[in-house]
């Protein structure tokens, strides 16, 4: 048999049902057998009560009283299950018996008394059910009353019942297996439909979705979960395509400019000063390409894996970054206002945290007039540590704020065209903030400046 899931589940359910059916059949047989035996024993007990009062002692022997009337009664009644009765003394010697025994005698079992329950014996090759009751005359034990009836009909009934159950058992199991197999086939049909649909989904049709079940069950939950996964994969692929397209455009533009400059130089001899000027322009373009490639590599590393966490002294790190950037831009005013007066550590990667803060400060410098001051404010809040990076630059429009974290996005302002940049800095910052559970929010007003808030939640803080 093909070991498909349908067959496996049918087989397991059939085995469990087979055990229950077997137990049920055994119980049925035992109940029927017990009922038959109780019925036979009740008949024997009734006969015991009936004939127990018809016994007398004559010449020291125990005999039936009114035996003639009893024989006449037996002849007048049609009895399909005759009762055999015999009286024996203490040693089992026969004293009297019913006429239907003829020359036969019932089996005496010394020391046995069974007033409510009989036992099976054989008489002339026939199975009988016998009961043995003590007899008392004048309150003195005098012998036994033996009563028996044929057990052949009951034996045949029990034999037929066991045969029927034995034959019926495999038939029921086969029918049950086929039924369960059909039901299992219908039950897993939604899974088969999901599998067929999943097989035709490729990178070219990621917009396709798996069918949902009409019932809110586990299969429907599986389908919904896979659809959510496909949705995430589709968005990821679209982002990768957009990223590749944007990266190609960003790299192609400076390369085209560089190629154009060189083509101009080789068309005809030019003064040395013009060669020097074009070469300097080429070096600037090459530097821009290097910056873009560096940011692309950083973004690729972030998408691949995060750095190992460590304890970072946040106050020292911010102070060190402010000092380093101030030395880099001696003509710019960069101020740090620290409102926290104790050591503070965060669970993050020092290099990654430095990239976040440096990128944000560099952006503030890039998009602010030279005479304007840039402030960094560290303060304790009820929801964690806040780091504010405040500038008085060109600001960001509400429309641009919604796209600010997209790779290569630089906004539509004509002022941005004069400012160098690839539009990758905030994408890198956002990814790093997500990795280290740092909340970033941007508040900006066009023409007035921007305030960026980094929130370090209590979960990553250490005093």
Q: State the Cα–Cα distance between residues 344 and 254, nearest whole angstrom.
A: 44
Q: 92-145 pLDDT, tens per residue?
A: 888 888 777 878 888 888 877 766 788 888 888 888 888 888 887 777 777 888
Coil, helix or strand for 150?
strand
Is the domain of 291 the same as that of 339? no
**How far does Cα 350 stand from its chain's mean position?**
39
Do 345 and 463 form a contact (C-beta atoms < 8 A)?
yes
Say yes or no: 94 and 117 in one domain.
yes
Among 44, 120, 114, 118, smallest CA distance to 82 is for: 44
Structural domain includes residue 260 = yes
Mean of all residue pLDDT scores within the chain = 80
What tokens appear for 231 in the block? 């949705």
Give the burial string for 433-446 (b: 16+ CB within 10 Å, else e). bebbebebeeebee
Domain match, 311 and 456 both: yes
Compute the chain's Rg from CA coordinates: 51
Domain count, the chain: 3
Is 179 within a domain? Answer: no
Note the pLDDT of residue 388: 93
- Burial pattern 331-364, b for ≥16 Cβ within 10 A else e, equals ebebebeeeeeeebbbebbbebbbbbbebbbebb
Give the CATH number for residue 432. 3.30.565.10
Domain boundary among 299, 331, 360: 299
User: How high is the pLDDT of residue 422?
Assistant: 59
Residues 333 and 441 in one domain: yes
pLDDT digits (tens, 9 = 90+) for 305-326: 555 678 888 889 999 999 988 9
The β-bridge partners of 454 are: 387, 440
Whether residues 258 and 383 share a domain: the answer is no
Domain closes at, from 249, 280, 299 = 299
- Any domain includes 380: yes
In percent, how much of the chain has pLDDT > 90? 11
DSSP letter for 118, please: -
pLDDT score of 426 more than 70: yes
Backbone angles phi, psi at 384, to 5 degrees: 135, -160
Q: Based on the fold, state whether residues 373 and 285 are members of the same structural domain.
A: no
Per-residue pLDDT, 76: 47
Residue 202 lies in a domain: no
Question: Where does the pLDDT of residue 57 fall: very low under 50, low under 70, confident under 90, or very high at 90 and above?
Answer: low
DSSP state of 418: G
Asked if residues 208 and 229 have their Cβ atoms less than 8 Å apart, the reply is no
Question: pLDDT category, 58, cuts 50, 70, 90?
Answer: low
- Name 350's Cβ contacts closer than 8 Å, sequence gap at least 6: 310, 312, 317
Structure-token pair, residue 426: 């905030």
Full residue range of the structural domain in which residue 401 is found: 307-462
DSSP state of 305: -
End-to-end distance of the chain based on CA atoms, in angstroms?
66
406 lies in some domain:
yes
Cα–Cα nearest to 129, from 95, 157, 163, 94: 157
118 in the same domain as 258: no
Per-residue DSSP letter, 293: H
Q: What 8-state DSSP symbol labels residue 458?
A: G
d(CA 50, CA 205): 93
Residues 294 and 369 in one domain: no
Asked whether residue 190 is domain-assigned, the answer is no
Two structure tokens written together for 255: 């390369």
- Bridge partners of 144, per DSSP, are 88, 134
164 located within any domain? no
Give yes or no: residues 313 and 288 share one domain: no
Q: At which residue do the structure tokens 């455009």 appear?
A: 249
Taking the C-alpha atoms of residue 108 and residue 124, their distance in angstroms, rounded to an integer, is 15
Residue 243 has pLDDT above 80, yes or no: no
Give dist(CA 87, CA 276) in Å, integer.
Answer: 143
Residues 97, 49 share a domain = yes
Write out pLDDT tens, residues 14-31.
Answer: 888 889 999 999 999 999
Give the tokens for residue 135.
């007899």
In contact, 307 and 439? CB cutoff 8 Å: no
Which CATH number do you get for residue 59? 3.30.450
Nearest to 338 by CA among 401, 388, 411: 388
**Is 325 among the domain residues?**
yes
Number of C-alpha atoms within 13 angstroms, CB side, residue 286? Answer: 8
Q: Is a pLDDT exceeding 50 seen at residue 417?
A: no
Tally Cβ neighbours within 10 Å of residue 407.
21
The predicted model gives 413-430 an average pLDDT of 63
Strand 449-456, strand 461-462: pairing: unpaired
Burial of residue 429, with CB atoms counted within 10 A of its CB: 0-12 exposed, 13-18 middle, 19 or more buried: buried
Last residue of a domain, one of 159, 176, 207: 159
- Taking each helix axis from N to C end, the angle separating 350-366 and 425-435, rounded to the nearest 10 degrees, works out to 150
Q: What distance in Å separates the CA atoms of residue 442 and residue 358, rounded to the nearest whole number?
A: 16
**H-run or E-run covering 411:** none
pLDDT in tens, 185-242: 888 788 888 888 888 888 778 788 888 777 777 878 888 888 888 888 888 787 777 6
* Domain match, 289 and 330 both: no
Question: Each residue of 397-412: pLDDT tens digit?
Answer: 877 777 787 766 666 5
409 and 366, same structural domain?
Answer: yes
Which CATH number covers residue 238? 1.10.287.130
């Amino acid at each position: 048999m093909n070991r498909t899931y349908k067959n496996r589940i049918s087989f397991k359910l059939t085995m469990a049902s087979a055990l229950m059916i077997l137990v049920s059949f055994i119980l049925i047989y035992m109940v029927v057998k017990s009922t038959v035996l109780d019925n036979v024993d009740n008949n024997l007990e009734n006969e015991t009560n009936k004939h127990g009062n018809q016994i007398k002692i004559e010449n020291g022997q125990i005999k039936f009283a009114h035996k003639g009337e009893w024989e006449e009664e037996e002849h007048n009644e049609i009895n399909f299950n005759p009762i055999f009765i015999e009286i024996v003394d203490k040693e089992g010697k026969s004293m009297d018996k019913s006429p239907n025994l003829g020359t036969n005698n019932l089996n005496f079992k010394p020391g046995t008394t069974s007033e409510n329950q009989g036992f099976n014996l054989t008489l002339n090759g026939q199975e009988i059910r016998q009961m043995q009751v003590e007899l008392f005359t004048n309150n003195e034990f005098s012998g036994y009353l033996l009563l028996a009836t044929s057990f052949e009909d009951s034996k045949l009934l029990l034999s037929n019942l066991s045969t029927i159950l034995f034959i019926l058992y495999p038939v029921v199991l086969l029918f049950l297996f086929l039924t369960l197999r059909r039901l299992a086939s219908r039950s897993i049909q939604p899974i088969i439909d999901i599998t067929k649909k999943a097989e035709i989904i490729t990178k070219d049709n990621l917009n396709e979705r798996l069918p949902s079940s009409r019932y809110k069950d586990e299969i429907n939950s599986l389908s919904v979960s896979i659809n959510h996964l496909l949705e995430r994969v589709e968005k990821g692929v679209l982002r990768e395509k957009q990223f590749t397209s944007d990266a190609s455009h960003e790299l192609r533009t400076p390369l085209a400019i560089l190629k154009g400059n060189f083509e101009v130089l080789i068309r005809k001899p030019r003064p040395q000063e013009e060669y020097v000027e074009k070469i300097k322009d080429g070096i600037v373009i090459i530097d821009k390409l290097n910056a873009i490639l560096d940011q692309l590599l950083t973004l690729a590393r972030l998408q691949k894996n995060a750095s190992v966490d460590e304890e970072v002294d946040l106050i020292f790190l911010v102070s060190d970054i402010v000092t380093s950037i101030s030395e880099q831009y001696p003509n710019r005013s960069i101020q740090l206002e620290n409102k926290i007066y104790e050591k503070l550590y965060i669970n993050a990667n020092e290099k990654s945290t430095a990239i976040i803060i440096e990128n944000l400060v560099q952006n503030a410098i890039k998009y602010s007039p030279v005479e304007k001051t840039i402030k960094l404010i560290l303060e304790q809040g009820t929801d964690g540590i806040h780091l504010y990076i405040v500038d008085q630059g060109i600001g960001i429009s509400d429309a641009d704020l919604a796209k600010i974290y997209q790779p290569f996005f630089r906004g539509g302002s004509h002022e941005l065209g004069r400012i160098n940049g690839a539009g990758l800095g905030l994408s890198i910052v956002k990814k790093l903030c997500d990795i280290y559970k740092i909340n970033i929010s941007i508040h900006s007003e066009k023409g007035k400046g921007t305030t960026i808030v980094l929130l370090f939640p209590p979960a990553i803080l250490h005093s």
